[in-house]
Chains A and B, each alone.
Chain A
Amino acid sequence: MVSEMESGHIEEMDIEVLPSMWPDDVGTDAGKQFNVEKPKGDQDMLEEVTIIDDATIVDFKRLLELTNYTETGSSQLAYLVKHWEYKQANAVRLLREELDILSKQREEVELKKLEILEEHRFEEERYGGDKRPISILDEVYDLWQDVPRRKNDVIVQNKRVEIDAEYDTVVYWKQRAMHLEKLLEASTQREQILIEKLQESIKDLERQSSPVEELSQILKRADNFLHFVLQNAPVVIGHQTIGINYMGMDVTDQVRKRERMAKLREEIAVQKAKETELNKTIHITEETMRAKQMLATMSHEIRSPLSGVVSMAEILSTTKVDQEQRQLLDCMLSSGDLVLQLINDILDLSKVESGVMKLEATKFRPRQVVKHVLQTAAASLQKILTLEGHVADDVPVEVIGDVLRIRQILTNLISNAIKFTHEGKVGVNLYVVPDPSSVKGEGCHQKLTADESTCSANGRKEEKCLSTSRTIGDWKGTHGQRHIEGPCQNHPSCDEPRTPHKSKVSVDGDNEEQPHSPETKVWIRCDVYDTGIGIPETALPTLFKKYMQVSADHARKYGGTGLGLAICKQLVELMGGHLTVSSQEHCGSTFTFVLPYKVSTASDHSDDPDELSDMADHNAATDEATERFFQFQPRTLGSLFSSNGSSRTNMGYTRSHKLNGFSDNSYSFPSNSVRSKETASVEEACSVVDDAETLCQPESSSSHSPDPANRDTVCRGKQCQDDTSSQFQNPIIDSTHHKETSREVAVVAKTREPQGTCQRQEKSDASSQCISSSSTEVPKSTLKPKILLVEDNKTIVMVTQSMMKLLGHSIDVVNNGVEAVCAVQHHNYDLILMDVCMPVMDGLQATRLIRSFEETGNWDAAVKAGIDQALLSLDSLQNGLGSTPSAMRRPIIAMTANALAESADECLANGMDSFVSKPVTLQKLKECLAKYLPS
């Protein structure tokens, strides 16, 4: 093999080495040189010959020359041969030399090769010795090792036969036979053992037939900790299964990792989904916010010109217009009001939602609030509905809360109730509940209302209704429903056993519950119930959603934006309470809100009923404070029912404690036509007058308005009320009233037109004034209206002052909010123009203080706000108008420089009636005065 290899190598050497040693072109070069030179010499010579030949052509000469030439030629030839030989020899020598070198090299290479081979072999051996591949299984699994081992054990036997005797002797044979026998015995024994072993083996084999199982078993034990993958694969060689490979892998870590990975992946996915969702939400929210902002701004921008349109229309309606024009005007007004309301709603809502809405904490009297709201509603009522309010005795006289917002909620709910109630009544129950969580238990009032709601129909939807439903159908409805009125009206008196004087034994479930706990916080629940169309169950979930109405049908029928209830809910929740609703379709609904109020410690004792009865007669204010039942029966019915003998007051209401021994039942009955003057007690008259003044005026004024001057005095001092009250409070007694009213109603009935009713539901103040001015009965035009300007900028004061002068008014001027409050306390202004941004106290706060005074009848809020008591001179106040807490609401007009949504909105929220944007112009002032001043 080696020799073969060597020869191969030699061949290779020849081939390979030659070219390297012997340059490629050597051979050819040499040849070329050799070949070229020879012909060259020949050619040159021949040329020479020919030339000479040509020159001398003689026969002799030529021959001679030719022989000469042959001689030189032959000698030359000989030389050439010699030269060639020499060259040849040289070449041979060179070749030989080369060959020598080559062979030498070959030897060297061979040697080297041998060396390499040797080395290689050595290495191979070393590798083999060091690293013989060993199956891991050999080491790890000794499953089969015990078998051969046992075999070895068994096989250990002495084979050698030792025979002492001589060969071929008897003894020898004998011995040999014995020996063999022994061997045989041993052999059989061995056989036996082997068989046994074999059997044992087989048994063993059978027992541990499936190592997989065994392994699995082992592994199962550790199951909790190990994740194990077991694989078996048959080892097949030549179509014969010779074994099975079992392979177990501990994949615990892997599994754990994989699980964690999966979990992580899952989490990431969730995270990502959340993120995108969040992004989307953020995006949407941003969009919404922008849209809302836009809406709010737009709303405000719309409101300003719109209020101009509406007020102009109002002014126009006070001028002489014919029937058709009036219709158009009324339509215009109510539409305008509706749009204004809608815009206000939107502004409110966006304010609450954006968290800008701030709540005020002012002292107020819940009874007054309820009464006022009901009065307002009654004033603009266009249906034959009874409005009533019950205030439980345990409700504190004064509480602290944001009265503006609470009023707003109450007004909203009541107008809603009225809107969806076509017959029956709408009422308010106010009572204290122990704890917001146990509100449900208060069934008493609830039940009452349920009883009362004999039948009615009415769904309701969130909607601050202006009760401007001025459709002819409505009127028809009212007429048709006349007869129902009777029973309905009975209710308040019948199921008010607690109304009658003092019967503290009253049904009032709440009384026992909390005679007004000593803690400063009190939860008051307010139910607004009606006997209206009710709310279908399906509509309940969306009831408080924005822009949602019970159905498209309702929306069409009743109009509205679907914002009212949403605003109510948001406001209530903002104040920490909750708003709920229960309703039965066609029977009525009850909206309930429970709100926490702080109790003003100063006057919380007066809610004690016994105390009340004692002091009932002393002081009108106290009576006001403790009134517990108000009722406003349908207006205009007096005349309608007069034929039946069932005439009634315009605004009937009862006071439990005042009328000693007098049964309320009797006078709130529709049949008590001959209601005595006495029943209409002084207080009663006062309370109706004092701030109902504005509210009930529109109606009475259109027919016959009492002397407004007189009215004013009524408001201020309510002591000498008897005549006034009887005069305009009870049309039945006053014959002129009666006549007038009935005439008006007759007209209404005939023409079936909204007529005087929808002219002035909202701005009762202004509109009533307007009406009275247009009517022949001259109101207090003799008195110059008192106007107060609150403004710190001298230039503006000067300009405004002279504008007012031009308009025929002189005005009082003060320079900041504190001075304004003082001025208001000393004089009764008919109109206040209030700058918003002022030093010391701004216009908003001043307005709030003034409103709080109007609401509560005291200046506590002002004192709290830091106004010097001395400045306020509380004593004079108490004697003067201070004792009429519900004195008329003074129109306060903001004068604002930034006509931005925020500030205008703020003005209204703080109790201002309107605003005039700066710079003030004659036109603006004129409009404002026309709107808010008794001419």
Chain B
Amino acid sequence: MDGVVQLQKQLVDYTASLFHEGFLDEQFNQLQQLQDESNPDFVVEVVSLFFEDSERLLNELGKTLEQKTVDFKKVDAHVHQLKGSSSSIGAQRVQKLCIAFRNCCEELNTEGCLKCLQQVKHEYSLVKNKLETLFKLEQQTIAAGGSIPTL
């Protein structure tokens, strides 16, 4: 049982650190609120969807920005999408970068866009890792027979 408590504590700390470091915001809490017995894996599902979606978008963005003449409209649309997704799961840092990204886009600044894309990719992989770790912790907790502590 000690192990479970340990795990739970770890989970709480880890989640708190994610919020503290700004990877996640309130919106993630919203997601967690939506999760209940009838929908036990909701957060994981949504976040997976987000990963899927984001990876697709990031790929698209990379391709679009590689073109000789960049279709900024397309870029903007993609970034808008990414921004919407990230904001709705609470991936705050990605969302904020998306805002800067869109500004670059408005200025038709290819360099800036590429730089932003790099940053977004970086942030995205960071948040992805963090969330995956979080989910792993959750799974471990559950596997150990404990419940996920509510924040």
A-side interface residues toward B, CB under 8 Å?
A: 792-796, 798-799, 802-803, 805-806, 837, 839, 897, 918-922
Contact = CB atoms under 8 A, between A and B. Distances in A.
Contacts of A802: 34, 39, 42, 46
A649 B81 CA distance: 54
Given A798-B49, A806-B34, 6 more contacts: A792-B81, A794-B53, A806-B36, A837-B80, A922-B30, A922-B33
B134 interface: no
Contact of A795 (B26, B49, B80): B49
B87 A794 contact: no
Given A799-B34, A897-B80, A919 B49 contact: no
Contacts of B83: 897
Nearest to B46: A798
A796 B34 contact: no
Contact of A919 (B36, B42, B81, B90): B90
Given A795-B50, A837-B80, A839-B77, A803 B34 contact: yes
A796 B84 contact: yes
29 contacts: A793-B53, A793-B81, A793-B88, A795-B46, A795-B49, A795-B53, A795-B85, A795-B88, A795-B89, A796-B84, A796-B85, A796-B88, A798-B45, A798-B49, A799-B31, A799-B46, A799-B88, A799-B89, A802-B42, A806-B34, A837-B77, A897-B80, A897-B87, A919-B30, A919-B87, A919-B90, A921-B30, A922-B30, A922-B34
A894 to B, nearest CB: 14
B84 A918 contact: yes
B140 interface: no
A919 B77 contact: no
Interface string B84-97: 11011110000000
A805 B39 CA distance: 11
B27 interface: yes
A794 B49 contact: yes
List of 8 A-B pairs having minimum Cβ-Cβ separation, nearest first: A795-B85, A793-B84, A919-B87, A919-B88, A802-B34, A796-B88, A919-B27, A799-B88
A708 B81 CA distance: 40
Interface in B57-105: 77, 80-81, 83-85, 87-90
B84 A897 contact: yes
A839 B53 CA distance: 16
B88 A920 contact: yes
A792 B78 CA distance: 12
A805 B53 CA distance: 23
Contacts of B89: 795, 799
The listed residue with most B CB atoms (<10 A of its CB), out of A795, A798, A919, is A795
Interface string B37-60: 001001001100110010000000
A594 to B, nearest CB: 41
A806 B84 CA distance: 21
Nearest to B51: A795
Nearest to A835: B84
A343 B85 CA distance: 31
A721 to B, nearest CB: 44
Nearest to B102: A898
B27 to A, nearest CB: 5
Contacts of B30: 799, 803, 919, 921-922
Contacts of A919: 27, 30, 87-88, 90
Contacts of B31: 799
Given A799-B31, A806-B34, A918 B88 contact: yes
A805 B27 CA distance: 17
A918 B81 CA distance: 12
A839 B74 CA distance: 10
A791 to B, nearest CB: 8
B13 to A, nearest CB: 25
A806 B85 CA distance: 20
Contacts of A837: 77, 80
Nearest to A793: B84
A793 B45 CA distance: 15
The listed residue with most B CB atoms (<10 A of its CB), out of A793, A839, A920, is A793
Contacts of A798: 45-46, 49
Contacts of A803: 30, 34
Nearest to A917: B87
Nearest to B29: A921
A795 B56 CA distance: 13
Contacts of A794: 49, 53, 85
Contacts of A920: 88
Contacts of B36: 806
A794 B81 CA distance: 9
Nearest to A806: B34
Nearest to B47: A795
Nearest to A920: B88
Contacts of B85: 793-796
Contacts of B49: 794-795, 798
A795 B77 contact: no
Contacts of A897: 80, 83-84, 87
A806 B50 CA distance: 21
A843 to B, nearest CB: 13
A685 B30 CA distance: 47
A799 B32 CA distance: 11
A921 B85 CA distance: 14
Contacts of A921: 26-27, 30
A923 to B, nearest CB: 9
Nearest to A801: B34
A794 B52 CA distance: 10
Contacts of B34: 799, 802-803, 806, 922
B109 to A, nearest CB: 19
B51 to A, nearest CB: 10
A920 B89 CA distance: 10
A897 B83 CA distance: 8
A919 B27 CA distance: 7
Contacts of B39: 802, 805
Nearest to B77: A839
A835 B77 CA distance: 13
The listed residue with most B CB atoms (<10 A of its CB), out of A792, A794, A805, A921, is A794
The listed residue with most A CB atoms (<10 A of its CB), out of B30, B45, B53, B90, is B30
A101 B85 CA distance: 123
Contacts of A839: 77
A771 to B, nearest CB: 31
A920 B46 CA distance: 14
A799 B85 CA distance: 10
A795 B84 contact: yes
A839 B31 CA distance: 26
A792 B26 CA distance: 23
A792 B39 CA distance: 23
B94 to A, nearest CB: 12
A796 B54 CA distance: 13
A793 B34 CA distance: 18
Nearest to A897: B84
Contacts of A795: 46, 49-50, 53, 84-85, 88-89
Contacts of B45: 798
Contacts of A922: 30, 33-34
B132 to A, nearest CB: 17
A202 to B, nearest CB: 100
The listed residue with most A CB atoms (<10 A of its CB), out of B33, B42, B84, is B84
Contacts of B46: 795, 798-799, 802
A917 to B, nearest CB: 10
Contacts of A792: 81
B43 to A, nearest CB: 10
A920 B39 CA distance: 19
Contacts of A805: 39
Contacts of B42: 802
A799 B49 CA distance: 11
A836 B36 CA distance: 30
A314 B135 CA distance: 41
Contacts of A806: 33-34, 36
A634 B53 CA distance: 58
